[in-house]
Structure 1
Amino acid sequence: MRDLTYYVAVSADGFIAGPSGEFDAFLFEGDHMAGIWEKYRGTAPTDLAAAAGLAVDGGPFDTVLMGWNTYAVGLPAQPDPYRHLRQIVFSREHEAPDGAAGVELTDRDPVEVVRELKAEDGAGIWLCGGGALAAVLADEIDRLVLKINPVLFGDGVRLFGDRPYRPAALRPVAVTPYESGVVLAEYARG
């Protein structure tokens, strides 16, 4: 069975984006980049990885899941951002834009879709955002991988949206601090 991994950058105070979707305060340069890329290869948009000379093959994931707001960050310039992965975008209100041939837009229940994906053969499934989708899929997440950035947002999109209080135990797998101040924290379900 395939695992669902929520792999995402997060501020030290638990936000994955600012109030208007800002994420430019996250560190995109530093000693953490090479080490994290080696472990989580393929987790950058196809064109961005190519421009940086980064290989996207051989990574832990073959499928990426996104909520509409996460997907829309690249629009209109990047309607097919992760062409090297199977891309599934969840939305009940939007239509796929022109040029999004490799994107599966669905209004289905995310839990049902994830359970079907887990039963398929293949590599891991990457939930790259957003917080509201993560809240819906919280009980389906097998691994939580956080790129904790040394920055406070104060407000914005929470890591798990408006998930109600319902504690769920996670087991620490690895914690890797970098001189940049970024900490890669990896957890598995209890």
Structure 2
Amino acid sequence: MLKQKRNLVLFISSSLDGYIATKDESLEWLFEVDGEGDNGFTEFYETVDTVLMGRTTYDWIMKQDVKEFPYRDKDSYVFTRTATADNENVKFITHNVVEFVQDLKAREGKNIWIVGGGELLHTFIQGKIVDEFIITLAPKIIGSGIPLFKEDDNQLNLSLKGIKQWNQFVELHYECKEGTDE
């Protein structure tokens, strides 16, 4: 029996001008947009068993008024440059990010979700290990903030896999045509 490939998937919302948050890390602009249900989050969430995030994203989540870690039912990894002790919810990873994810992708399981972190996403794009991009665009132009993609010379060829509309949001689903590890 052929083993199904685990994909590394970015699932994220962005302003129309390409920002995932304001400079002060606020998402208030996002919550001002009329969506539909949870805008496909639950459907997507069921397709993953592993979540990855950078330390800044993890710290932001922990600063929110959450009663418990939102991804406690998934294997969660936080990539950081500072050695930190694992806790009941996450394992902190300080070594080679790309190699670690390639190892995860080789294991049996569901898809792997890049929860957030512009730096982390940039590392994954440079390593050519992202398989899919699911970007939900909000009809907002916020002018400045934390960009979804960093400026550099990396290029990826993508293929449109699908489009969904969630009231005022539009979800664009792309897969990488080449260059990801096979």
Same-fold status (TM-score > 0.5) = yes
User: Following TM superposition, by how much is the alpha carbon of 1:38 offset from its aligned partner in structure 2, in angstroms?
Assistant: 4.6
Distance 1:94 1:10 in 2: 31
Judge conservation of contact 2:50–2:113 (CA < 8 Å) in 1: yes
2:25 to 17, 21, 24: 21
Distance 1:66 1:31 in 2: 25
Match of 1:84 in 2: 73
% identical aligned pairs: 27
Q: Does 1:176 align with 2:180?
A: no
**One-letter code aligned to 2:172:** A
Distance 2:39 2:92 in 1: 32
1:32 aligned counterpart, secondary structure:
coil
1:115 aligned counterpart, secondary structure:
helix
1:119-178 CA-partner distances (Å, limit 9, x unpaired): 000000000111111000011110000011111121121112x34122211000111123
Judge conservation of contact 2:33–2:139 (CA < 8 Å) in 1: no
RMSD: 2.1
Number of residue pairs the alignment of both structures matches: 169
TM-score by length of 2: 0.84
Match of 1:140 in 2: 129
| Distance of aligned partners of 1:23 and 1:31 in 2 relative to their CA distance in 1, 3 Å threshold | closer
Match of 2:138 in 1: 149
Distance 1:28 1:105 in 2: 33
**One-letter code aligned to 2:78:** V
| Distance of aligned partners of 1:74 and 1:84 in 2 relative to their CA distance in 1, 3 Å threshold | same
User: Following TM superposition, by how much is the alpha carbon of 1:28 offset from its aligned partner in structure 2, in angstroms?
Assistant: 7.2
| Distance of aligned partners of 1:151 and 1:84 in 2 relative to their CA distance in 1, 3 Å threshold | same
User: Following TM superposition, by how much is the alpha carbon of 1:93 offset from its aligned partner in structure 2, in angstroms?
Assistant: 2.5
Distance 2:116 2:71 in 1: 14
TM-score by length of 1: 0.81
User: Following TM superposition, by how much is the alpha carbon of 1:61 offset from its aligned partner in structure 2, in angstroms?
Assistant: 0.1
Q: How do 1:52-131 residues align onto structure 2 when only pairs under 5 Å count?
A: 59-76=46-63, 78=66, 80-93=69-82, 95-96=84-85, 100-131=87-118
Distance 2:43 2:104 in 1: 22
**One-letter code aligned to 1:168:** L
1:63-101 CA-partner distances (Å, limit 9, x unpaired): 00000111111225557331011000000126258xx31
Q: Does 1:9 align with 2:26?
A: no
